[in-house]
Amino acid sequence: MPDAGESTTDRRQKLAEYHGSISSAGSKNDLVGAINNALGVLAPVGEPGVLEGLAKTYRKQIDDVADVHRRVLKVAGEGLPDAWVGSTGARASEVVMAAARSAEQMEQAFSGAAGALYRLADALTNAKAQDKGGREQLREALGMLGGEDGFFDDMVEKDAEEAERLRARSIAAAGAKAMHTAAEVADDAARAAARDLNKLASEARAGQMKTDNICAADRLVLADIAGSGGPAEMNELLTANDLERSGRAMERLDAREEAEFERMLAEAKTPQERAYLVKALAAGYDVKEVGEFRDKIHGKDPDWLQRHLTPVTTAGDSMADEGVHSSGPYEGANKNTDQQMFNGERWSQEGNTCVPSTVVTGRAMVDPVYALELTGGPSGQEDDPGAFRERLREEQLRMHDEGDGNDAYDFPFGSTPDGMDNDGKTEISTKEISPHTGGEYEFQEIRSADDRRDALPDIQRAVAEGRPVPIGVEGEDENGDRVGHSMMIIGQEGDMLQVYNPWGTTTWVSEDDFVNGNMDKASDKDLPDAYGVHLPAQ
Amino acid sequence: MKPSHRLSTALALPLTVVMLSGCGIFGSETFGAEDRSIEVDAGDVFELTLPANPSMGQDWSIVRPGPDRATVRQEGGRKDDFGGDGGADGGGDGTQTFTFQAVAAGTTKIKMSYCVLGDCPDGDDRTATGSPGNDPAYFIYTVTVR
């Protein structure tokens, strides 16, 4: 008897295997063994009734939250005096608008969670019924076959016995197929529900900031601040992880540091300036370092802050499906791809440095102090794309060395980077990104569709929280020569993943694209398969 | 920057492809990205082998209408070779090779479009004077058939 599957993905894999064994079983004993293996796999687990009850509870909250939303909007419409300020200087109108948006998001979250649970309950009900039918067919087949043959029984098979065995095999194959389909339905539904609920949880952002050092109204405003380059809901400056880490950092401040940090927040000229100060604290810098950073960005307008401190902006139309290039140099690539630039110079690799270039951008996304060093130089005030390119190149080379990347020698001119293996990539991700987000990176090979499917929930949870996930993609030429490339998953909306390519571009691919070898949409036809992922520990 | 790393210098040099000009003794002559002036004899078959690492998105194509067919004619399609990266992402000596037949005495130009990092040159883009690097550009090869 095999081990019963532990996860929905395990069950799916095992039943695919046993369905194959049953369909190809060449003897009675092989068939009996394969049927018993399939019956040993657990039926889909979970109680649809419990899930529906939970969904109903969420649904009931929607009306209450909608009422709060309406009342807050009314207050926002009538206006408040500017004299009302929070302890960090967040103006009252900001607080009211943030509260309105928070109430609206809460309404959407309850609705989304209820929908996710109803869909899971429905899928589970169907999967259980289908699994049950499949098991009955397997048992019917076993009944037709009787017990396993002994050694001598197995030596001769009469025509009638063979016909009966083949009939039993046909019934058993249909049963196993039904069980496998049920397992697929349950697996897909479970992953979709986990994905949606994790995303909703990460979007309950203000609640992530657990500190008494900052009042509830200001927490609400901070969680709501977005950059200037795209729609607010796709460009929030503080991730769930930033809010959680900054809250913990504030709890550790002594009285003097706390007063100093509050002063910086209160004196911030824009909500965005305030958010970047909190992001710097979340990235692990102490109050003195945050103060130095503050001196460089104080009073800058939101566009300047966006350009210098946020490498990736998500455009409002970035998720529109415009199809892929059907021919030409970038065949297979999404047409809808955004270039990520600083003053016209892309956040892109130079030479064979895709791995360190991925990590440089990954760190710049989570560490605004580092981003400013690259864009604004030592003074933090530069706006020169050429100087930015020079600094970016030096950083790519520094991380190439740090990860012990390969070099190509070109005597007598020195050497140039020539790729990096996954050990090096894990090392630089952990050294460069982890100190600013928490959680060391670990490499996980995902060379099959099942492995990729299995990794998706962890990837989605990480990026929903604001931790970038470097991945490896690969392809082969007609001679079987392999080429690999580094990219990074940086966002998630529904079943779509936002991918950064160190060519200096971002685009969206679906979960199915990721699982089924269509990652060429984020690069081109030469690099279709995701084969590895570097996941941050929770 | 580490002294041994001279990336910008290297990008102005043959990065991955070792070209052996004038090796016609052993078959077709092979020219590289820097060989902008090519001299061959009528009847010769020659190759233009250009650096093309898929991880860089490097991609080459002949800009239409192509060279004067009375002087030089393309033979077959482009041959892609990833070169293999030994398991190190981003590494390797990928190339794309174009094969030509020198038809008759004369001079013509082969204009190549060099795409890189997901971007291609457009009609107004510059003609490259250096080696293929981070910027899309046109590379023009002057072929003299003796």
Residue B45 belongs to a domain with what CATH number? Answer: 2.60.40.2020
Asked which of A104-108, A152-156, A181-185, A269-273 is least confident by mean pLDDT, the reply is A152-156
> Which tokens in the block code for residue A391?
């600094």
How far, in whole angstroms, is CA A411 from its chain's centroid? 43
B52: buried, middle or exposed (CB in 10 Å: 19+, 13-18, 0-12)? buried
Question: Model confidence at A165, in pLDDT bands (50, 70, 90)?
Answer: confident
- Which range, A102-106, B21-25, B117-121, is most confident? B117-121
Q: Is residue B6 part of a domain?
A: no
Question: Which regions of A227-362 does DSSP assign to beta strands (E)?
Answer: 338-339, 341-342, 345-346
B52 located within any domain: yes
Q: Please give the backbone phi and psi of residue A215, each rounded to the nearest 5 degrees, phi first.
A: -75, 165
pLDDT of res. A81: 56
Does B5 map to a domain? Answer: no
**Mutation for testing the B interface, residue in A360, A389, A418, A520 having most B CBs under 10 Å:** A418
Residue A82: predicted pLDDT: 57
Is the model more confident about A207 or about B128? B128
Please give the pLDDT value at position A91. 62
Helix boundaries (H) for A146-286: 159-203, 216-224, 240-252, 255-267, 271-282
- pLDDT average, residue stretch A431-441: 96
Residue B59: give the domain boundaries. Answer: 25-145
**Could you give the number of structural domains in chain B?**
1
Beta strand A482-493 with A496-501 is: antiparallel
Contact flag A482-B91 (C-beta cutoff 8 Å): no
Nearest by Cα to B110 from B51, B52, B59, B64: B64
**Taking Cα atoms as reference points, which of A516, A496, A499 lies closest to residue A451?**
A516
Q: Tell me what pLDDT residue B128 has.
A: 87
Q: Shortest CB distance from B82 goes to which of A354, A481, A501?
A: A481
Residue B21 has pLDDT above 60, yes or no: no
Q: Do the Cβ atoms of B85 and A484 come within 8 Å?
A: yes
Q: Is B117 in Cβ contact with A348 (below 8 Å)?
A: yes
Q: What pTM value is reported for the model? A: 0.82
Predicted local distance difference test score (pLDDT) of residue A278: 94
- In-domain check, residue B77: yes
- A92, pLDDT greater than 90: no
Q: Does B11 touch chain A (CB under 8 A)?
A: yes
Query: Is B17 domain-assigned?
Result: no
* Statement: residue A98 has pLDDT above 80: no
Cα dihedral angle (A43, A46, A51, A52), rounded to 10 degrees? 40
Does the beta-carbon distance from B54 to A397 stay under 8 Å? no
CA–CA separation, A500 vs A339, rounded Å?
A: 10
A345-403 pLDDT tens trace: 999 999 999 999 999 999 999 999 999 999 999 999 999 999 999 999 999 999 999 99
B13 pLDDT higher than 50: no
Q: Residue B57: its chain A contacts at CB < 8 A? A: 329-330, 503, 523-524
Q: Is residue B34 part of a domain?
A: yes
Chain B residues with CB inside 8 Å of A419's CB? 55, 85-86, 88-92
Q: Is residue B102 domain-resident?
A: yes
CB contact under 8 A, B118 and A505: yes
**Out of A350, A472, A483, closest to residue B94 by CB:** A483
pLDDT tens, B31-67?
999 999 999 999 999 999 999 999 999 999 999 999 9
Rounded to whole angstroms, the Cα distance separating A357 from A365 reads 12
- Average pLDDT of chain A? 89
Is residue B23 over pLDDT 90? no
Give the rounded percent of residues in chain A with a pLDDT score beyond 90: 65
The pLDDT, as a whole number, for residue A58 is 85
CB distance from A358 to chain B under 8 Å? no
Say if B83 is an interface residue toward chain A (CB within 8 Å).
yes
In a domain, B127, yes or no: yes
Predicted pLDDT at B3: 36
pLDDT reported for residue B14: 42
Lowest mean pLDDT among A149-163, A270-284, A360-374, A509-523: A149-163
Is the pLDDT at A502 greater than 60? The verdict is yes
A527, burial (CB in 10 Å: exposed 0-12, middle 13-18, buried 19+)? buried
Q: Given a cut of 70, is residue A85 above it in pLDDT?
A: no
Q: Is the pLDDT assigned to residue B24 strictly greater than 50?
A: no
